[in-house]
Amino acid sequence: MRYQWSIFVLLCCAAFSQTTLDAPAAFAKGQQALAHGDLKSAQSAFERVLQLEPNSVPARANLGVVYMRRKQWSKALEQFRTAEKAAPGNPGLELNIGLAYFHENDFASAIQPFQSVLSAQPESAQARYLLGLCYFATDKYPAAVDTLQPLWPSQSGKMSYLYVLALSADKAKQSGLEEAALKRMLEIGEDSAEYHLYMGRAWLARQRNPEALREFQLAVQGNPNLPFVHYSLGTIYADKGDFARAKSEFLKDIAIEPDLASDYDELGAVALKMDAPAEAKRYYLKAVQLNPRLASSYFGLAKIYRAEHQYSEALHTLDTVNRLEPKSASAHYLKARILMQVNRRQEAKVEFDISAQLRKSTFDRLEEQISGRPALDPQMGMPH
């Protein structure tokens, strides 16, 4: 009996010793795999560390990086947020949290993490740049200018930086800075395809479609495989009512950049215009799979569900739209129409009233997106 007990104690000690040695070894293996792009092995190794040491911030943060490399932004955020609770205010974690929100197109939520990084590390050009893009994406143009302008000495040789700075300065009514940024774009652009793409987007933001079309056509001549250029052409053709040509351009852009949710969103809208609701539904579902915050695709789906007499599904989808775009008069109006159809008249009256108030007091951002709002601007501002 004493012999058996001794064996049990030895086994427990051996297991404990193996556990304490196993975690560092697994972490090192995970780091090595991550450095070599072996995401499957890296994930397995970091998950092993967390089995042994559930409070390991480095392992959880690295697991978040694995998910980011796979573009699984929600899973990455879950890991980073858990790590943040154990290590609040860590600039590396805050930067990754901001990046995950940014890539989910949740620019408003990304602002605070980037502000935190910049507060802790005022010299961080990356945090400053990303924060400026988020201000731009959320229509905070003076803040975007104030944040981006100090980067001029290091970034004014990059088209993406100058593009966002010029548009921000225009919206902030700082014409001198806008002219300086556009002049610098011309100096470094040298008639390149990239230069014509950014100039076309700048014209598009001003709703100057003929000038934008000319620039995009020049960009295609220079580089037919340039990301975003076919998307941009597609939005112009869709606005002109040339839906077949628009569809062709969006499909070309998908061949170049297959994970761009906005292409599928636009294809859904075009398919509806071409009276192909089943096709539109497939495109919209793909769009929200790639970007769960794409309100215009949910809105399109709600219209399709209504036409299919799936009223419960339509109302549920509109609830998502209203959560993402609470000031959309269009979404409240559509919800009111559906509520009338299912004989929920009192609720319908409330929605009609909300819609009417919003149309008087606010600009319908969702309606702007549907009519061709250049939703790619923040992403285009990212260095490529």
65-118: pLDDT as tens digits: 999 999 899 999 999 999 999 999 899 999 999 999 998 888 999 999 999 999
| DSSP code per residue over 136-182 | HHTT-HHHHHHHHGGGHHHHTT-HHHHHHHHHHHHHTT-HHHHHHHH
**pLDDT at site 205:** 83
Q: Which residue has the higher pLDDT, 16 or 58?
A: 58
Length of the chain: 384
- Residue 378 neighbours by CB under 8 Å, 6+ apart: 102, 105, 107, 133, 134, 136, 137, 164
pLDDT confidence bin for 202, thresholds 50/70/90 = confident
Q: Return the percentage of the chain with pLDDT > 90, whole number.
A: 78
**pLDDT at site 17:** 38
pTM (2 d.p.): 0.81
**pLDDT at site 207:** 86
Q: How big is the CA angle at 235 (ends 231 and 241), to the nearest 5 degrees?
A: 140
C-alpha distances out from residue 208 to 130, 191, 204, 205, 212, Å: 27, 20, 6, 8, 6
pLDDT in tens, 282-291: 999 999 999 8
**pLDDT at site 364:** 65
Q: How many other CB atoms are there within 10 angstroms of residue 261's CB atom? A: 19
**pLDDT at site 369:** 55
Evaluate whether 15-88 and 259-384 have a shared fold.
yes
Domain ranges of the chain: 15-88, 259-384
What CATH superfamily classification does 15-88 receive? Tetratricopeptide repeat domain (1.25.40.10)
CATH of 259-384, one of 3.30.450.40, 3.40.190.10, 1.25.40.10, 3.40.50.2020: 1.25.40.10
Q: 114-117: long-range contacts (C-beta < 8 A, 24 or more apart)?
A: 116/89, 116/91, 117/91
